[in-house]
């Protein structure tokens, strides 16, 4: 894990001011494509479109179209969007969501893109040659659509659950279940897509479209994987983390002040922190424009309420090279765990021969894990799941600097905690083997931060054994955290991650102003 030096720095941040919401009619077009003619198929994009559509219905949208797979042709998509804009009245909000493959290609108009590339949405019928080359939507065309909508006094929310280029933040261990990445590489011969896009539309930037709230699944340098998340019944399903969290936000989870209006700052914060949590820090959503946080995005439905999704049932563990009958012996020693085949989307994979635990996203969670150490190592991930659920609605922002990649032995890194509104703060670490590390505050440090929030804390750490997937957990609340602080301090150095999660859940039940967050960090020799 990561022992910490004594010093921690504090800085004061500014809060956003509220603003009144305008009346609106909510309209939407949701697109999801799993089946591709030439590109690798996806598994969760259709579910993403239907999930967002259901959330929009709950928010009062009656003008709503869902296009999935073969129905989402270019001609149909263009026609439906134009008709939606034509039906809308000034002040209405249009939500366009897309889940599927993205791509990148040389800019049609040289000089209009900083990187010389156009970003493109790739539809199911796309092919790299012939008529199928028409089945895509370049960003310049989307800019024209959005500019025209703004000219009619409409607000636009664009959710792009795809990526266009980049690399994986961390490599994927081949023992993990295969997950799709929403990016395609291709070369087009004899392009048959002809666009009539004026130069001014091709040169538009986010600052030129202030009426558009844009949510992209990741940064330009990141590939976006599909992740396994619980559906409405708690069953595990491949999904896009961005679409999943946008749907939860529209259902009311992001409405922190309970005023029935989803504001940009609320949406940005909820989506950013929750996508990072469920993706294991493999993606950081790109949310534009920055600032103007008090601006309303959409009015929530009259029945909107912050309902936490089901946790996803038992944690699923696949076992490799453990010998015949080993799974039967493990079941009794792993409460709350289902032993499943490697093909059934396990949360964790235990390689008994290599004595390693691997996450479903492909990170080595812990080394040296034999049968005796397995319950504590698996229990750590049960604790992570529980803490994520505790943190979902009002998550503290945690970052590992300088990057989200793998930190080698001896590396110095900084954990940044921000967004605390209360003055009380407690931090612990959870090692891959289940060991709890008490991090903050130490006896010489003040338990109560000075000034008025939100606050920011910087904590310096060093990468040391045991190596694997560690997590830092931060908790803040209005009232005293003395009892929780003392109980967690007593767990320092023990393999008691599940007990730590139980303590947090119990403390949250009686606390006001509760905020918590959890951030993974990855170390290796």
Q: What is the pLDDT of residues 427-453, one digit of tens each?
A: 999 999 999 999 998 765 554 555 556
Say which residues have a Cβ less than 8 Å from residue 427's Cβ, sequence separation at least 6: 415, 417, 439, 440, 457, 459, 472, 473, 474, 475
CA-wise closest residue to 16 among 261, 262, 212, 291? 291
- pLDDT of 19 reads 35
pLDDT surpassing 60 at residue 489: yes
Mean pLDDT, rounded, for 492-519: 94
- Dihedral of alpha carbons 32, 37, 39, 41, sign: positive
pLDDT surpassing 90 at residue 491: yes
- Dihedral of alpha carbons 96, 180, 165, 193, sign: negative
Side by side, the strands of the sheet bearing 93-99 are 63-68, 26-32, 93-99, 155-161, 212-216, 286-288
- pLDDT of 9 reads 32
- pLDDT of 361 reads 92
Mean pLDDT, rounded, for 322-338: 83
pLDDT surpassing 50 at residue 17: no
Say which residues have a Cβ less than 8 Å from residue 153's Cβ, sequence separation at least 6: 90, 91
Mean pLDDT, rounded, for 79-105: 96
- pLDDT of 492 reads 97
Residue with tokens 């950081």: 284
Asked whether the bond before 40 is cis by omega within 30 degrees of 0, the reply is no
- pLDDT of 356 reads 96
Q: From CA 430, how far away is CA 434, in angstroms rounded? A: 6
Q: Lowest-confidence range among 300-304, 336-340, 458-462, 498-502? A: 300-304
Q: From CA 374, how far away is CA 379, in angstroms rounded? A: 8
pLDDT surpassing 70 at residue 205: no
Q: What pairs with residue 265 in β-bridges?
A: none
Interval 404-430: pLDDT, tens: 999 999 999 999 998 888 878 899 999
Interval 52-86: pLDDT, tens: 999 999 999 989 999 999 999 999 999 999 999 99
CA 383 and chain centroid, separation: 19
Cα dihedral 223/229/231/237 (nearest 10): 70
Q: Lowest-confidence range among 24-38, 158-172, 211-225? A: 158-172
Asked whether the beta carbons of 463 and 411 are under 8 A apart, the reply is yes
Mean pLDDT, rounded, for 2-16: 32
* Average pLDDT across the chain, whole number: 87
Question: Which ranges constitute the DSSP H helices of 65-137?
Answer: 74-87
- pLDDT of 366 reads 96
Segment holding 507, helix H or strand E: helix 497-509
- pLDDT of 117 reads 82
Mean pLDDT, rounded, for 169-189: 87
């Amino acid at each position: 894990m990561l022992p910490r030096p004594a010093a921690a720095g504090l800085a004061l941040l500014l809060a956003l001011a509220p603003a009144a919401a305008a009346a609106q009619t909510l309209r939407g077009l949701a697109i999801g494509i799993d089946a591709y003619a030439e590109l690798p198929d996806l598994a969760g994009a259709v579910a993403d479109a239907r999930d967002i559509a259901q959330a929009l219905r709950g928010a009062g949208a009656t003008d709503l179209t869902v296009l999935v797979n073969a129905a989402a042709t270019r001609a149909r998509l263009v026609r439906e969007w134009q008709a939606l804009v034509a039906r809308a009245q000034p002040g209405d909000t249009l939500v366009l969501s897309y889940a599927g493959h993205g791509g990148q290609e040389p800019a049609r108009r040289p000089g209009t893109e900083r990187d010389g590339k156009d970003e493109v949405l790739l539809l199911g019928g796309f092919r790299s040659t012939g008529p199928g080359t028409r089945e895509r939507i370049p960003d310049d065309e989307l800019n024209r659509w959005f500019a025209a909508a703004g000219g009619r006094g409409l607000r636009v929310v664009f959710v792009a659950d795809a990526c266009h280029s980049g690399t994986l933040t961390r490599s994927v261990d081949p023992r993990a279940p295969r997950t799709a990445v929403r990016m395609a590489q291709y070369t087009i011969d004899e392009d048959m897509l002809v666009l009539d896009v004026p130069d001014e539309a091709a040169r538009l930037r986010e600052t030129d479209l202030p009426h558009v709230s844009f949510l992209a699944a990741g940064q330009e340098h990141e590939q976006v994987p599909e992740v396994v998340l619980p559906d409405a019944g708690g069953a595990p399903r491949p999904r896009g983390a961005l679409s999943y969290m946008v749907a939860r936000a529209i259902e009311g989870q992001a409405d922190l002040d309970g005023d029935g209006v989803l504001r940009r700052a609320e949406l940005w914060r909820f989506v950013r922190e929750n996508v990072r949590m469920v993706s294991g820090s493999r993606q950081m959503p790109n949310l534009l424009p920055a600032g103007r946080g008090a601006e309303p995005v959409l009015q929530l439905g009259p029945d909107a309420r912050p309902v936490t999704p089901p946790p996803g049932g038992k944690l699923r563990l696949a076992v490799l090279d453990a010998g015949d009958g080993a799974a039967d012996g493990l079941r009794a020693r792993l409460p709350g765990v289902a032993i499943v085949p490697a093909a059934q989307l396990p949360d964790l994979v235990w390689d008994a021969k290599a004595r390693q635990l691997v996450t479903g996203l492909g990170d080595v969670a812990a080394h040296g894990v034999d049968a005796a150490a397995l319950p504590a190592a698996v229990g750590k991930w049960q604790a992570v799941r529980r803490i994520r659920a505790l943190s979902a609605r009002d998550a503290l922002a945690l970052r590992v600097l300088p990057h989200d990649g793998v930190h080698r032995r001896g590396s110095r890194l900084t954990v940044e905690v921000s967004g605390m509104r209360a003055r009380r703060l407690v931090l612990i670490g959870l090692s891959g083997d289940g060991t709890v590390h008490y991090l903050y505050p130490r006896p010489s440090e003040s338990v109560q931060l000075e000034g008025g929030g939100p606050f920011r804390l910087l904590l310096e750490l060093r990468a040391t054994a045991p190596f694997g997937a560690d997590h830092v957990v931060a908790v803040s609340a209005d009232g005293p955290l003395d009892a929780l602080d003392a109980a967690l301090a007593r767990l320092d150095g023990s393999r008691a991650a599940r007990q730590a999660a139980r303590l947090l859940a119990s403390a949250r039940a009686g606390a006001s102003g509760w905020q918590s967050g959890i951030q993974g960090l990855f170390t290796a020799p």
